[in-house]
Structure 1
Amino acid sequence: MRKFLVLLDDSRECLNAMRFAAMRAASTGGAVVVLAVISAQEIQYGLGVADVMRAEIRERIEAHFEVFAKWMRDRPKVEPELVIREGDPAEELMAQIGEDPLIGVVVLGISAEKGAKNPVITRLMRDAGALGCPITLVPGDMSKERLEAIT
């Protein structure tokens, strides 16, 4: 079974990446892995406070994931898997690909804003040849109807 790996973040374009991955997985008999990364900048305090912050961030990630997961279960009938890692998002995404041989496609949303920077995409493109799977970039401003038509 081929898995589509999607990076969960707070960006607007993340929604289209999730939709695309779920619809492609449903139409190809695949699965969706949703990766959320807790960055070091989010946890910068002492040990006791860091544990509380980490737990709060995990709760927020799980709630955010559940919104997407409910839609995936109801609409394209896909049961997504949530993976939460800590570190640099690009490095953790690459590590997840390396650890899960069933990941066949990385799906990332891209901003429609001219000149918008995405450090994860920049990092992946630098090492794209070593990933071992294709990268699909989904425009954040693409309509739901267009996404459905191409998946």
Structure 2
Amino acid sequence: MRKFLVLLDDSRECLNAMRFAAMRASNSGGGVVILAVISGEDIQHGFGVAEVMRAEARERIEAHFEVFAKWMRSRPKVEPELVIREGDPAEQLLAQIEEDGEIGIVVLGLSSESGAQNPLLTRMLRDPASLPCPITIVPGSLSKERLEAIT
């Protein structure tokens, strides 16, 4: 089964990336892997504090994931898989692709705000010839109707 890998974050464009991945997976008999990365910078290292912060980050991620998963299960009828990793998002995304041989496409949301930066996308495209699979970039400004039409 071909899987679509989507990065879960707090950005507005993440929603369109999730929708696109779920609809494409549904229409092609594929699956969706939702990757959430806890940045090392978000975890303060100290006497037991790191584990508490890590647990809190996981709880937030799981709650955020459940919102998308509920929609995916009911509308496009896709059962998403959640993977939580820790470290640099670009490195963890590449590591996930390396570890899961069924991942065929990475889906990333692109901000519709002019001048907005996407550090992950910038980093991934530094050496596009070395990418292990295609990347689909989904504009955050696309309507649900347009997404449905193109998937």
Unmatched tracts of structure 2, length 5 or more: none
Question: Which AA in structure 2 matches 1:23?
Answer: M
What SS does structure 2 have at the residue aligned with 1:35?
A: strand
Distance 2:141 2:42 in 1: 28
Q: Number of aligned residue pairs: give it.
A: 151
CA-CA distance at 1:104 after TM superposition: 0.3
- State the partner residue of 1:30: 30
Question: Which AA in structure 1 matches 2:58?
Answer: R
- State the partner residue of 1:136: 136
Whether 2:83 is the aligned partner of 1:91: answer: no
Distance 1:42 1:67 in 2: 22
Distance 1:73 1:88 in 2: 29
Q: Is the 8 A contact 2:44 2:53 kept in 1?
A: no
Distance 2:80 2:107 in 1: 14
Q: Is the 8 A contact 1:106 1:133 kept in 2?
A: yes
Q: Is the 8 A contact 1:23 1:76 kept in 2?
A: yes
What SS does structure 2 have at the residue aligned with 1:24?
A: helix
Cα RMSD (Å): 0.7
Q: Is the 8 A contact 1:97 1:131 kept in 2?
A: no
TM-score, structure 2 length as denominator? 0.98
TM-score, structure 1 length as denominator? 0.98
Q: Is the 8 A contact 1:13 1:140 kept in 2?
A: yes
Distance 1:16 1:34 in 2: 13
1:76-114: CA deviation from partner (whole Å, max 9, x where unpaired): 000000000000001100111111111000000000111
- State the partner residue of 1:68: 68
What SS does structure 1 have at the residue aligned with 2:104?
A: strand
1:97-140: CA deviation from partner (whole Å, max 9, x where unpaired): 11111100000000011111111001111132222210000000
What SS does structure 1 have at the residue aligned with 2:48?
A: helix
Distance 2:120 2:47 in 1: 28
Distance 1:102 1:18 in 2: 18
Distance 1:32 1:65 in 2: 12
What SS does structure 2 have at the residue aligned with 1:126?
A: coil
Whether 2:142 is the aligned partner of 1:146: answer: no
